[in-house]
Amino acid sequence: MVDKLTAVKGMNDILPPESAHWEWLEDRVRSLMARYAYRNIRTPILEHTRLFVRSIGEVTDIVEKEMYSFEDRSDKHGDADHLTMRPENGPDVDAELILLAAALWRELGLTDWRLEINCLGQPEERARHRERLIAYLEGHADRLDEEARRRLHSNPLRILDTKNPQMQDLVNQAPKLIDFLGERSLAHFQGLQAMLDANGVSWTLNPRLVRGLDYYNLSVFEFVTDRLGSQGTICAGGRYDGLIGQMGGKAAPAVGWALGVERVLELLREQGVEPAQPAPDAFAVVPDAAVLPQVLQSLQILREAGVSVQMHAPAAGTAEGMGSMKSQFKRADASGARFALIFGQAELQQGCVAVKALRSGQSDEQVLEPLNQADRWAARLR
């Protein structure tokens, strides 16, 4: 007995009609980004593992839980690369990116969200805070859970982000990073707040909003909702001026955010926002598969003229044809097409196809159109 194949955990197929929702959201994001003059970057799926360990550190959730790493096949010299699948791609510019995200929520119709912000300062400021934080947590070691004890000296900032209910009072009373910031970091953070206020974007200071990565500095922010349970962050970002330098490049300022497509789509459904499903312009009704060569030739002309046409595929290697006229008209109606193209025996004997409107408000009359002039009448189908 053959074992049933299932999808790899966390790597499910996105199929119609759900894939149309993804495309709709991607199109809206792409359109908005263009109005802000941002351009697309495409990064490789695989990178050398040392790239991520070097820039992220070995004791982080990304390295420990979210990265898939493996040793590649050896070359002819016996050398093999250690490779990793790329994790999720990640103050005037800081404010602009936040305003861009807020504008996206407005365009999508999302309302039930809040913006949380914090400032991580600079490395030397975080070092002073880290020392005090570790000392504080060591003084309450008996209240730390297993994960917090493991992170105590490797990544103590992430302990502040714990979801353990029994540790909430402890982390709420912990030393706050903002109390260790110098004048320049505070001025940057206050400038960000002023720009958000000036543009009517409400925000909340969350001193527990942190990043467990060394290259982050200054602004960090998250857009959060209470309608998705513990997975409430729909967009997160911040400034990471140290990243490029840590990767061996020339130091350069950087800021960005990442959006959770699945969470945004789930929140849209929660709020009753349902993207319209794409529909073809026409559906080809073909009672007899024997005429498919002639039909496909006509459909190709229509498609080259910009008409979107859907056709039910016949069963391979059978003489069952395309299904009954009734069943094909049901498929045509379900497809959302505005017109049916009927390639029946009578129509084909005249060298024509019958064009029938399917939607209310259109004429019910069937119009015969010559197949050899399909490019001439294609425009009215669009």
How far from 365 is each of 327, 355, 357, 362, CA to CA, in Å? Answer: 20, 9, 7, 9
On average, the pLDDT of the chain sits at: 84
Domain chopping of the chain, boundaries: 18-37+89-121+181-270, 44-88, 282-381
Q: How far is residue 239's CA from residue 298's CA, in Å, rounded to a whole number?
A: 55
Q: How far is residue 62's CA from residue 155's CA, in Å, rounded to a whole number?
A: 12
Residues 128 and 180: beta-carbon distance below 8 Å = yes
| pLDDT tens digits in sequence order for the chain, 382 residues long | 567 777 777 778 888 888 888 888 888 988 998 888 888 877 776 777 766 555 444 444 444 445 566 676 666 556 667 777 655 543 788 999 999 999 999 999 998 999 999 999 999 999 999 999 999 999 999 999 999 999 999 889 889 888 899 999 999 999 999 999 999 999 999 999 999 999 999 999 999 898 877 788 999 999 999 998 878 999 999 999 888 888 788 888 899 999 999 999 999 999 988 888 889 999 999 888 888 888 888 888 889 888 999 988 766 544 455 778 888 889 999 999 999 999 888 888 888 899 999 987 666 678 888 888 887 888 888 8
Helix (H, G, I), strand (E, B) or coil at 188: helix
pLDDT tens readout for residues 41-65:
777 767 777 665 554 444 444 444 4
Helix (H, G, I), strand (E, B) or coil at 43: coil
Nearest CA to 273 out of 112, 109, 104 is that of 109
Tokens 């979801």, located at residue: 163
**Reported pTM:** 0.75
Instruction: List the CATH code of the domain at 282-381.
Output: 3.40.50.800
Amino acid at 96: E
The one-character DSSP state at 2 is P
* CATH T-level assignment (fold) for domain 18-37+89-121+181-270: BirA Bifunctional Protein; domain 2 (3.30.930)
Residues 286 and 320: beta-carbon distance below 8 Å = no
Tokens 């297993």, located at residue: 146
Please count the CA atoms within 13 angstroms of the CA of 305 that sit on its side-chain side. Answer: 20
Nearest CA to 287 out of 241, 330, 229, 327 is that of 327
How far from 17 is each of 13, 107, 115, 264, CA to CA, in Å? Answer: 12, 22, 31, 16
CB neighbours of 361 closer than 8 A, spacing ≥ 6?
Answer: none
Phi and psi torsions of 98, nearest 5°: -65, -40
Paired tokens of 16: 């119609």
Helix (H, G, I), strand (E, B) or coil at 233: strand
